[in-house]
Homo-oligomer: A and B are copies of this chain.
């Protein structure tokens, strides 16, 4: 039997806490850190290990093999770099940094230290997306043509006073927050985007970062990803529609306030006309975080490249940066 992986979690907010709950029988929490030390202590009390205010101490805790970096955007790349240098495997939350320049050096660094880095694009691991991927890979909807996706929430009173509204901390607004999930999912199905059109703008919230991002991304083969991310989406919404020559898949909902997760498969009939459809609904608890970690631990054990690695994060950040620039945002200065 394999020994448990020693894990440190850096950043004990909502996501860090969620990650702590996913270690299961394969990971043992040895250390966790958060500038608000009480949050670190609380996670440590519940899941084990020691709590620290200083992430460097968590990193230095003996036995740590895997580091989960779940901080604000401004610290993601710096801590990931330190963890790599310390020879740890790293699961870093998307977007992995505030811009591509922060993340790019990590690629070479990880290669040099022989460690693996997975970026937390957990949406790929939702039940509906796992099944969608299977259907696509099985050829049932034929060659992919294009996809459309809409992702958004409506914020909350004071949203523009939170850290995400400060570009120094966040690197940008909605486009760098929910946008990378859309870009990553799109690239997961369609591949590299060679052409980027898009626009980001601040319509509603009183903040110097965007609250909406619109994109038309194109692969070399002209497959389009038509994407919109919004934090003025007054009723929370997730919709991902994928078109092949022989059918369509649609994922809606991500659970909770986004509605029940559902996958619908539209089968084109030989006579065309309205397609026959099959739908699957997943009202049970989201297990994407568990599935994602399991895969990453498998990657480490089997010495496999993580499916969602730093290259995926860089690809998303390059697109985000390009649209920010074209839209008049310069958070990078």
- Residues of chain A having any CB pair with chain B under 8 Å: 145-146, 148, 150, 154-157, 197-199, 201, 203-204, 212, 214, 216, 218, 222, 224, 226, 228, 232-236, 243, 245, 247-248, 257, 260, 266, 268-269, 271-284
* A243–B232 alpha-carbon span in the complex (Å): 8
Name the residue of chain B whose CB is nearest to the CB of A281: B277
Name the residue of chain B whose CB is nearest to the CB of A195: B199
Name the residue of chain B whose CB is nearest to the CB of A278: B280
| CB-contact partner of A276 in B197, B201, B280, under 8 A | B280
Chain B residues within 8 Å of A214, by CB: 146, 216, 224, 226
**B276 lies within 8 A of A278 (CB):** no
Q: Given contacts A201-B222, A243-B234, A271-B157, is CB(A212)–CB(B146) below 8 Å?
A: yes
Q: Given contacts A224-B199, A247-B234, is CB(A278)–CB(B279) below 8 Å?
A: yes
- The 8 closest A-B CB pairs, nearest first, are A274-B283, A279-B279, A145-B203, A277-B281, A197-B197, A234-B248, A214-B216, A214-B226
Q: Given contacts A278-B278, A279-B279, is CB(A234)–CB(B198) below 8 Å?
A: no
Q: Given contacts A204-B145, A224-B212, is CB(A274)–CB(B247) below 8 Å?
A: no
* A285–B273 alpha-carbon span in the complex (Å): 10
Q: Given contacts A277-B280, A283-B275, is CB(A204)–CB(B235) below 8 Å?
A: no
Looking at the assembled complex, report how far the CB atom of A241 sits from the nearest CB atom of chain B, in whole angstroms.
Answer: 9
**A272 lies within 8 A of B154 (CB):** yes
Chain B residues within 8 Å of A243, by CB: 232-234
Looking at the assembled complex, report how far the CB atom of A216 sits from the nearest CB atom of chain B, in whole angstroms.
Answer: 5
* A155–B269 alpha-carbon span in the complex (Å): 12
Looking at the assembled complex, report how far the CB atom of A290 sits from the nearest CB atom of chain B, in whole angstroms.
Answer: 15
**B276 lies within 8 A of A234 (CB):** no
| CB-contact partner of A199 in B156, B216, B279, under 8 A | B216
* A271–B224 alpha-carbon span in the complex (Å): 38
Looking at the assembled complex, report how far the CB atom of A219 sits from the nearest CB atom of chain B, in whole angstroms.
Answer: 11
| CB-contact partner of A234 in B234, B235, B268, under 8 A | B268
Chain B residues within 8 Å of A224, by CB: 199, 201, 212, 214
**A235 lies within 8 A of B274 (CB):** yes
| CB-contact partner of A146 in B203, B226, B276, under 8 A | B203
| CB-contact partner of A245 in B150, B204, B275, under 8 A | B204
